[in-house]
Structure 1
Amino acid sequence: MKYLILSVFILFNHSGLVRAQLTRTEKKIVQEVNSLAPEQLELLKRVVNMNSGTMNFDGVQAVGKVLMEEFEALGFETSWVDGQEFGRAGHLLATHEGKPENLKVMLIGHLDTVFEPDHPYQSYTIDGDSVMRGPGVVDMKGGDVIILYALRAMREAGALKNMNVRVVMTGDEEKSGSPLSLSKQLLVETAEWADVAIGFENGDSNFKTAVISRRGSIRWKLEVNGNAAHSSQVFSEEVGAGAIYEASRILKAFYDELSQEPLLTFNPGVILGGTAVEFDNGKDGGTAYGKSNVVASEVVVSGDIRAVSPEQLAMTKETMERIVSSHLPGTEAAITFEEGYPPLPPTQGNRELLDLYSTVSSDLGLGPVSAVDPLRAGAADVSFTSGLVDAAMDGIGLSGGNDHTANEYADLNRLPDLTKRAALLLYRLNQKK
């Protein structure tokens, strides 16, 4: 039976561990993070200089191999989940078995970046003594090394041996494999095992925040058909309104009924219409042909939905389907939804996990941590733990900014601090009555 995260807070309140004074073991963990900091930085430099663009399968596997060796040195059992079935390099899984009665913790990272081998941005540079620039340094190789060295500091302090932890580092976070049911299967299966899931993405790259809610992301496609005819006959009983008027009616109704829903966005990103339309799903675009004096017979619209909860997503889909089902004369329309990233709602368990993390930060003298606005938190791998764990949190990876650009950078001054916060969070979660 899973532990409720609330029981962990009750434990710390009764045991007196939630206080500014660190325990002897916690002080040892902090000391180990400090002593290991030079090694941690060298590993970060090494993996940043290894190209692991999502479609560079050899590169993704090479980074995975380096980190697997590091986890094995900590006593973890590691395996590589091959990605052939979903068209990607695969995923890393590292497992540490502790006492059965202890909390089961899932840690999430990813190995791939958006920088493929033909991209000019391939290696790190150091500005002064505190800024590191490099491909994937914050998104998210910095987070990966925080996971590794938080666990290593715990091991050196004798605090890891009883801990149940599974680390999943995916190889397709930046460009998901297909189908998602296979691409994200390891995340789902590990979440079914876990009580708590913690992701080490960089969130909004603010040292004072963490993510407890991520909006999901799914794609939709609207297809509309009408009767082609000379424009002089539009609105007649035989011809009707045409496909473009019908598509316009539908999109306007989407806006009217849903645009004021809090934390919901739905965006029609591409629209093609005319007498002949060819739409390429893979490229999310295509060609359209028509004439000003011909009633359009086809329209295709492609867009996405970003919702904060499964309930909000279901309501949005139902509303869109209802609007589409009511047609203008002489037209037909249908909307389809693709699989995507599920929403991660801000549950009570998530809030309590953030509270514990914030307490750890304050106890370290680093100040409190608050929640990121879900409007600033896009979909990520942690979303696939939604509804499967008692508590989830993300965005506690390395601070920095300009993700996905040739100006991506990390604040190296925060690397030890973030590692300490992660290590003490894991240590406190692992305590029991």
Structure 2
Amino acid sequence: MSKARPKTRGIVSAAVSAAMLGTMLAGCAATAPESENSELEFWGWNPAYEKVVDLWNSSHDQQVKFETTASGGDGGYTKMQAAVKAGNAPCLAQVGNESVPTLTVDGSLVDISEEIDQYRDGFPDSAWAAMGVGEGIYGVPVDIAPLALFYRTDVYEKFGVTPATTWEQFAADSAKVHAADPNVYLSSFAPAITYQIAGFVQQAGGTWYSSENDQWKVSMNGAETKDVAAYWQKMMDEDLTKVTDPETPEWFAAVQDGTIASYVAPVWWVTVLEGAAAGSSGKWRVAPMPNVDDDTVSTGTAGGSATSVLTGCDDVQGAVDFANWMSTDDGALEILIEDAASFPAATNGTGLGSLSEPLEFYGGQKVYEVFADAAPTINPNWQFGPANAETGSAYADAMKPVLDGTRTMAEGLDIAQASLVDALTTKGLSVTE
């Protein structure tokens, strides 16, 4: 039963741990422990996971049974949490990186830092950082989503600019292009869209959360975030970026006609752009996102997922062994790449299958090589927090007045910080600033 007991180091509160331990002990009294070769249950919503599980089952004694659930935000996490409380949760579950801390704090996930130790070298530091809460590790990375600059070669060539290597150069190029044609912008920016600025803050070395012992430090208005906000505030004030929400029909129309000529986006946007802007095929390329300065090479991310072990699992090591296999086996990764457009977190997976092929939409460029080069430079300082929904709403609500000029982004960050601290305190978490 020792493997089933949740480890309670650091940020996971003693009260939650005690409650979960009671649930687990009750479950153990009712059922016999599984043997090391017993069937492991696995819940998730990725359409390729069932095929991956079939591949594992064809060559391993210990079998895995996959059950498709609703995606996490559409009820999948609620189902997992309820199963943990009832003592009948599966051993394994798909979890988005942004939700790992939330599910950890409520006692749903097991700290696998000991079981995973032998597998650490197969992933970049940033991938493990996304799995961490306090001193614990609460998932095996599956896929990541490094950012890069998507740009229109025809527009860039027309105005005599090249992909900027620094944000300072990007601002200067934006001014040059917009002065030559006021209808054309090198970028768009939505001040109330959380994931867009979060990636820039991560690149700059900032984070909105950190955890130590039993406390969460909240830093939504930290120095790096203020610097990023000041940059985009100036871009908006000087009309050097198109202020609009991304990925709307109107936005894609502007992307397709070249009046928005570039955009920083994650790796999964490769297929999104191809599907939504087919009329501009052959005109797009991908370059590394601009850096903070000439001496820094860093990027941010927008997405990613893990395979986590749920509280109550009787074979934690067996579950971790499967999870690592799924994230590192060439055959498993090729299924995830081809059937689910995943970009592997494991270093051995970023050049497999179609990830090594030139893409016609991008003028024959092997665009995934850009993301493979970016993956090791994802800044590992970023940590997601224990209240993902509250984080998004605190930021978005505080930034909406920026759109009509009644509030600056700097003012919005201070308001968002106060709102987020209140929200976490209300949830019963220990918070510091």
Compute the TM-score of the two structures, normalised by the length of structure 1: 0.24
More strand per residue? 1
**Larger gyration radius, structure 1 or structure 2:** 1
